[in-house]
Chains A and B, each alone.
Chain A
Amino acid sequence: MPPNRPPALLCLALMLAWLSTAAAAPPAGVPALDHPPPTVTRTTAGQVDLCLGCHRQDPGGAHARDVLGCAACHLGDPLAGDKTRAHRGMVKNPGELRLGPRTCGQAGCHPNQLRWVENSLMATNRGIIDALRTYWGESAGPGAEDLTVHGLARSGLTSPALDYFRKLCGSCHLWMEKGSLPDFLAAKGGGCTACHQEKPEPDTPRERAHTRITRDAPLENCVRCHNRSGRIGLSYQGLMESEGYGTPYEAGDLGTHQLEDGRYVRSMPDDVHHRKGLACVDCHTQRETMGDGTRHVHFEEQLEVRCVTCHAGGEALRPLAEAYALRKRGLGPPSGVQVKRAPPRLDVVAKGTAFFLEGRRDRKLHPLDPPDPAACRGPLHRRLSCQACHSTWVPQCYGCHVRADRSQAMLDKVAARETPGRWSEFRSFMRHESPPLGRKGDEVVILVPG
């Protein structure tokens, strides 16, 4: 820039100052300012973001308004002095995956994570589709095809199993735009924010209220989707879906313990990890949930944490604790970098010879008990998975079945329109006791119908 010219920002500041003190009637051709910014507002990095002049909302933390401003995430024009131009191109939910390259995944923010997530099971639903096609006998077997929810949306491909997926499963994937479906389904989807968004603190003043962005997803974000099929999000909390008759009755009438979609649940012993205050993200690491950029068909392929990872006992936990100690000091790979064959990112803390898991949400230290030497480590049960013994109940639906009625229509969640064929699910002969055992490879595991 030539030295005899004033800097552009100075010009802009002077112009805005003049505009803010101008008469109420603007000159012809100049749009009226409905909220003239009182001053040129900047982020802590010195970036001009005039949005901050009107908006007080604050996500806090690393995404605080003073740090990022508004436009870095919500787009729009942060240099425009009038509302209409400032809001042009603005997005309500920056986390939507279709916006990812311009918002969360932009250079300098989370480009690697976006790349992983776009190809992850939670974004593609590859595993659900593959399982359904296998179960219904429509494919040659697990992994024989490569169908994704994105592909189904583009191709319109359908079959009995795919129609079932479209009508009953297709709302739970990260490409789903939040609010695009009716009723309770409106809360599903939303890309990055499906997991990483939390309600504001309860005592936040209304004008400052903004959803908080969290690295450690709360349980309810996970359960919003993980409450069908294996029902693990319910089971973990000690809830079991009942057969739908409203039992156990309360005061002579139907029970009141219902999910938002109308399913009745009953109380069961919750998972000990839930009882101790741990959330899903305490065990399920970034690589497990967001993927690692590699195309996996089923979750077990990207599983890196098993019970023995934490409950191995003794010095086996030392590498995990050392890796976490480095991370806490700002050393070691940052969260946007995944190192192959590195120990899982578990927040394990060593205190002498004792090891603890530091809860990612409650920051409490939870002792990591070793397995029972006789029952778990002895020769008699050496092939049993930990779950085979320590999961004392599991939902088993022996008589559940579905019906497709082509005389009626139903919302296809992938195409976002009604198409012929209404699916009904019928529950019967549901049990929870004595989880059945089977063999997977050399390991004894729990088998369930479905």
Chain B
Amino acid sequence: MDHRGRWEKDFVRLTVSWMDPHTTQPKGRSCPDCHQTPRALGLGEGSLHRGPGGWAFTPALAARPRLLGIDHPLDAFVDANGTALVHTSRPDLRPLGRDEIRRVLDVGLCLPCHRDLRDPVMRAWRPGRMPRPCRHAPAAARP
């Protein structure tokens, strides 16, 4: 606002930082809270779907909110292709990348039956190497 109280100019700059929230709980987050939750992966609110082409994400917020002057949903740090949408507070800090998001979400496909790390299937899982889907797996989980 200028010296007469009228709008003069504005700018939008979205930055994310890293932090220790100081909200530590003895029991960690549930598996679905990371492996089935788009916000936890920096995608923002919305719907996830896995089809023949892999993972797709439909944001709940407007993809191009004209009122805000940005070309992505307000709560998105990264899009489903792993393209970062925000600035970060440190040079070595970034939102998750495409492959990282995919690997995290792949685990979520099996969580309805294999609920946590007490399950032998989950204990046998190796980073980045999804086990061969069993006959109960949803179609989306099958190659």
Contacts and interface: CB of A to CB of B under 8 A. Distances in A.
Interface of A: 131, 134-137, 141-142, 230, 232-233, 235-236, 268-273, 307, 369, 372, 374-375, 378-380, 382, 386-387, 389-396, 398-399, 403-408, 420, 429, 431, 433-441, 444-450
A437 B13 CA distance: 20
A394 B21 contact: yes
**4 closest pairs, A vs B, by CB?**
A407-B5, A389-B28, A394-B21, A405-B1
Contacts of B117: 374-375, 378, 380
B34 interface: yes
Residue among B15, B23, B88, B118 with max Cβ neighbours from chain A (10 Å):
B23
Contacts of A395: 21
Interface string B80-99: 00000011111111111100
Given A271-B23, A436-B41, A449-B86, 7 more contacts: A135-B87, A271-B24, A389-B28, A408-B5, A437-B41, A447-B42, A447-B95
Nearest to B40: A434
Interface of B: 1-6, 8, 13-26, 28-29, 33-34, 37, 39-42, 74-75, 77, 86-97, 100, 117-118, 122-123, 125-127
Contacts of A232: 19-22
B100 to A, nearest CB: 7
Given A135-B13, A407-B2, A439-B96, A390 B33 contact: no
B127 A407 contact: no
Contact of B42 (A394, A407, A438): A438
Nearest to A234: B22
Contact of B23 (A135, A394, A404): A394
Contacts of B28: 372, 375, 389-390, 392
A437 B75 CA distance: 13
A447 B18 contact: yes
A392 B40 CA distance: 11
Contacts of B89: 131, 134-135, 142
A380 B129 CA distance: 10
Given A438-B95, A440-B93, A391 B25 contact: yes
Contacts of B97: 439
Given A389-B28, A398-B74, A135 B15 contact: yes
Contact of A448 (B19, B34, B74, B90): B19
Contacts of B23: 235-236, 268-271, 391-394
A345 B93 CA distance: 30
A220 to B, nearest CB: 15
B25 A269 contact: yes
Nearest to B3: A406
Contacts of A445: 18, 93
Contact of B40 (A230, A273, A437, A441): A437
B75 A131 contact: no
B21 A399 contact: no
A269 B29 CA distance: 13
Contacts of B96: 437-439, 444
25 contacts: A131-B17, A131-B89, A230-B17, A232-B20, A235-B23, A386-B24, A387-B24, A389-B28, A394-B21, A404-B1, A406-B2, A406-B3, A406-B8, A435-B21, A436-B41, A437-B42, A438-B95, A439-B95, A440-B18, A444-B96, A445-B18, A446-B19, A447-B18, A448-B18, A449-B15
Nearest to A399: B74
Nearest to B41: A437
A373 B97 CA distance: 27
A403 B6 CA distance: 12
